[in-house]
């Protein structure tokens, strides 16, 4: 039996370690797909094709042997394979990027803004979360109530599993949409993120859909920077700009996500 390696799946840290890139997401060149400096990624709303990693610049980076200037820790033994190179590994960790990263982060920022603008109170939000009719498929993913201290610290952990976060994000427009004025920009940011996620988590996509996805990711990131001028885009926002191209090369990214691996970890 003959076989060849097409792609490796894993979470961000696992993939960076396996493929020989930096294992810190606060380092200068943390992205395994492109060579954008971390200060560039903080305001970058779309993929820059001139910065992509490839076999040629990767070989130079290996020779240069300077982690803080290249993001490359070492050459990977996987590059000895006939049909594989680490710079061709386009798999994205959409579960951690979205459901344990951008999703809860923006959810907390947006809910805090809505509560501050008096469109909502935390008590009302939690009442709607607990009394919502989730139906049979979502009952096991019913979100937990949100604590006051969680909203105060958007970068901290949210006490929801990835499946609960996805359930909460998807159903939030039905839960509290009636309370929010139509032109609210913060709410628009969350709805844009949901639009992006619908494409990213979809099990089937057309090539044209990736062009549209790139446009709404650009729009979403730009709106984030406009609404929160004191904050910047985080590494997980940056990974999103590579999704449309990754989908074109590999197909729907949900086929490669870490959700099933994490479920197995949960079991153990
Ligand atoms: Zn990148």
Q: Which of 43, 70, 88 is the C-terminal boundary of a domain?
A: 88
In a domain, 241, yes or no: yes
| Spatial contact of 200 and 213, defined as CB atoms under 8 Å apart | yes
Task: Report how far residue 239's alpha carbon sits from residue 2's, in angstroms, rounded to the nearest whole number.
Answer: 33
Q: How many CA atoms lie within 13 A of 147 on its CB side?
A: 8
Q: Tell whether 144 is covered by a domain.
A: yes
Domain boundary pick from 88, 116, 138:
88
Same domain, residue pair 48 and 130? no
My answer on whether 146 and 219 are in the same domain is yes
90-116 CB burial, b ≥16 within 10 A, e <16: bbbbbbbbbbbbbbbbbbbbbbbbbbe
CA of 85 to the centre of ligand 1 (A): 17
Q: Can you tell me which residue has the tokens 């006490």?
A: 159
CA of 244 to the centre of ligand 1 (A): 12
**Domain end call among 54, 88, 122:** 88
4 part of a folded domain: no
Q: 88 alpha carbon to ligand 1 midpoint, in Å?
A: 13
Q: Is residue 248 part of a domain?
A: yes
Q: How many C-beta atoms lie closer than 10 Å to residue 30's C-beta? A: 21
| Residue pLDDT tens, the chain, 268 long | 998 999 999 999 999 999 999 999 999 999 999 999 999 999 999 999 999 999 999 999 999 999 999 999 999 999 999 899 999 999 999 999 999 999 999 999 999 999 999 999 999 999 999 999 999 989 999 999 999 889 888 888 888 999 999 999 999 999 999 999 999 999 999 999 999 999 999 999 999 999 999 999 999 999 999 999 999 999 999 999 999 999 999 999 999 999 989 889 888 8
- Ligand 1 mean position, distance from CA 40 (Å): 10
Domain housing 114? 94-267
- How many Å lie between the centroid of ligand 1 and the Cα of residue 250? 17
- At 155 the pLDDT is 85
User: How far, in Å, from the CA of 41 to the mean position of ligand 1?
Assistant: 8
Residue 149 belongs to a domain: yes
pLDDT score at 47: 97
Residues 142 and 166 in one domain: yes
DSSP 112-124: HHHHHTTS--HHH
121 CA distance to ligand 1 middle (Å): 38
**Within this chain, do residues 64 and 103 fall inside the same structural domain, yes or no?**
no
Tell me, in angstroms, the distance from the centre of ligand 1 to residue 51's CA: 8
Distance 268 CA to ligand 1 centre (A): 33
Same domain, 65 and 182: no
CB-CB contact of 221 with 82 (8 Å) = no
- Kindly give the distance from the C-alpha atom of residue 50 to the centroid of ligand 1, in angstroms, as a whole number: 11
Query: How far, in Å, from the CA of 36 to the mean position of ligand 1?
Result: 6
């Amino acid at each position: 039996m003959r076989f060849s390696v097409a792609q490796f799946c894993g979470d961000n840290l696992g993939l960076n370690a396996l493929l020989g890139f930096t294992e810190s997401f606060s380092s200068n060149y943390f992205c395994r797909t492109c060579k954008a400096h971390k200060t560039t990624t903080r305001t970058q709303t779309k993929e820059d094709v001139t910065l992509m990693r490839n076999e040629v610049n990767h070989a130079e980076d290996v020779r240069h042997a300077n982690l803080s200037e290249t993001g490359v820790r070492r050459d990977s033994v996987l590059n000895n394979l006939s049909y594989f190179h680490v710079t061709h590994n386009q798999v994205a960790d959409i579960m951690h990027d979205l459901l344990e990263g951008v999703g809860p982060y923006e959810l907390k920022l947006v809910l805090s803004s809505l509560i501050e603008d008096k469109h909502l109170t935390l008590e009302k939000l939690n009442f709607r979360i607990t009394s919502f009719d989730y139906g049979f498929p979502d009952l096991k993913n019913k979100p937990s109530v949100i604590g006051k201290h969680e909203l105060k610290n958007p970068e901290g952990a949210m006490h929801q599993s990835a499946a609960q976060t996805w359930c909460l994000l998807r159903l939030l427009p039905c839960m509290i949409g009636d309370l929010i004025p139509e032109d609210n920009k913060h709410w628009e940011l969350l709805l844009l993120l949901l639009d992006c996620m619908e494409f990213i988590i979809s099990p089937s996509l057309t090539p044209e859909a990736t062009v549209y996805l790139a446009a709404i990711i650009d729009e979403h990131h730009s709106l984030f920077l406009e609404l929160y001028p004191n904050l910047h885009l985080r590494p997980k926002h940056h990974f999103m700009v590579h999704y449309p191209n990754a989908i074109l090369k590999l197909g729907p990214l949900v086929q490669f996500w870490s959700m099933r691996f994490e479920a197995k970890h949960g079991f153990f």
